[in-house]
Chains A and B, each alone.
Chain A
Amino acid sequence: SQQGEEDPQALSIQEGENATMNCSYKTSINNLQWYRQNSGRGLVHLILIRSNEREKHSGRLRVTLDTSKKSSSLLITASRAADTASYFCATVINTGNQFYFGTGTSLTVIP
């Protein structure tokens, strides 16, 4: 089974609203990364948060990490139609060198 699970599976919001998606994982991680994928295309790296960090910002993105709850959230503020995509969290576990991608959240931003 996959290391990461995103919630919700799908999210539809109006342009200008904030979008929040969550990622839960099962084992201890070294870092967690968020990626974005436009339909049928390659993933694009958004942000990386290390296991000893609690919050990180990048432009309109805010990522939090709670290692005690084994969860992370991605907040996109003031969403735009161009933010419509699928968002994946990827966990990098402490043993091995593997990246585990979650199931993804499909975000639709309605203009």
Chain B
Amino acid sequence: DSGVTQTPKHLITATGQRVTLRCSPRSGDLSVYWYQQSLDQGLQFLIQYYNGEERAKGNILERFSAQQFPDLHSELNLSSLELGDSALYFCASSARGGIYNEQFFGPGTRLTVL
């Protein structure tokens, strides 16, 4: 158990809908990362927050947005969902925002868009 929690575990929804994925980092970790893992794209870095501020941005679509709240939990919002958005979404946390930090991954949220 990494100490990172993600909810929900599974999510099934229809095209065009909007969903919110939630992540609670390990106790004391200030940095949160979001990743998307699909069969065709592999594991893609989406975005990183550090202590409430956006720190780095990867291949995140404009239809997706994220934020980190004062209690350090984070939410990833996916809107106007398409079939291709079906994937495993992982959240990871690290103690600080630096690039030498080991990341601790949550169990993931499996999103299925029908």
Interface residues of A (CB under 8 A from B): 2, 30-31, 33, 35, 40-45, 48, 50, 88, 92, 96-104
Contacts and interface: CB of A to CB of B under 8 A. Distances in A.
Interface stretch (B12-20, B40-48, B61-69, B70-78): B40-48
B106 A42 contact: yes
Main secondary structure of the interface of B (DSSP, over half): strand
27 contacts: A2-B42, A30-B99, A30-B100, A40-B108, A41-B107, A41-B108, A42-B90, A42-B106, A42-B107, A43-B43, A43-B90, A43-B92, A45-B103, A45-B104, A48-B100, A88-B43, A92-B100, A97-B48, A98-B48, A98-B58, A99-B33, A99-B99, A100-B45, A101-B35, A101-B42, A102-B42, A104-B43
Contacts of A104: 42-43
B25 interface: no
A42 B33 CA distance: 13
A81 B102 CA distance: 25
Contacts, number: 60
Interface size class of B (residues with CB under 8 A): 20 to 34
A99 B105 contact: no
Contacts of B2: 42, 44
Contacts of B42: 2, 101-104
Given A30-B99, A40-B108, A100-B45, 4 more contacts: A35-B105, A42-B105, A97-B99, A98-B48
